[in-house]
Amino acid sequence: MNTPNKISVFRMILVPVCVLVKCFPYAQFGISLGYVDAMSVRIPVLDLILLGIFVVGSFSDFLDGYLARKNNLVTTFGKFIDPIADKLLTTTLFVMLAVDGRIPLFVVLIFIWRDTIVDGLRMMAAGKGVVVAAGMLGKCKTVAQMFAVIFILLGNVPFEWIGIPMANILLWMAVILSAASGIDYFLQMKDYVLETK
């Protein structure tokens, strides 16, 4: 396994780490994480810990792609594992945010539906010997999702200070890009999906 693929696997390992950090029974062990005050915004320390883990995972997404292209290490496994690692990390954070009531549940369902359909399309293409890498719309969707998570965990700081709901803007941008990229994947693979032979 080459270095970019190891980085993608590392990103997948961060997923259960996020869940453990979020669900750990701190109170039962007498641990109080508290808050950090950023002017008028109070940010839970737990959110900052999750943010740190998520930022590391997001940076690893950039790093594995950069190393794969620079060193000509693009592999079939890498084309599959990279988007899967991205989806696992971002979807896990979105599910936790929805459980907390900080984002609408149906937004997370849209992300999951889109990813499930796209993964099904990719599997159909793979059955025909065609490997479909992540497209530009899909990459833009991932970037929008990642920044949405970052600003939600930051309490929309610094944009909250000037009254711009950047976290919400990015979240809805991610929803639109999810739908658009899903349609784009379908159009790319419609010949396999609509095959009648």
pLDDT tens for 47-93 read 999 999 999 998 998 898 888 888 888 887 777 788 788 889 999 99
Q: pTM value?
A: 0.87
Domains of the chain as residue ranges with CATH:
3-189 (1.20.120.1760)
| pLDDT mean across residues, the chain | 88
Q: 26 vs 22, 31, 32, 77, 135, CA distance in Å?
A: 9, 5, 7, 38, 41
Nearest to 165, CA basis, from 110, 102, 105 = 102
Mean pLDDT computed over 22-45: 93
Mean pLDDT computed over 104-111: 95
> What single DSSP character describes residue 103?
S
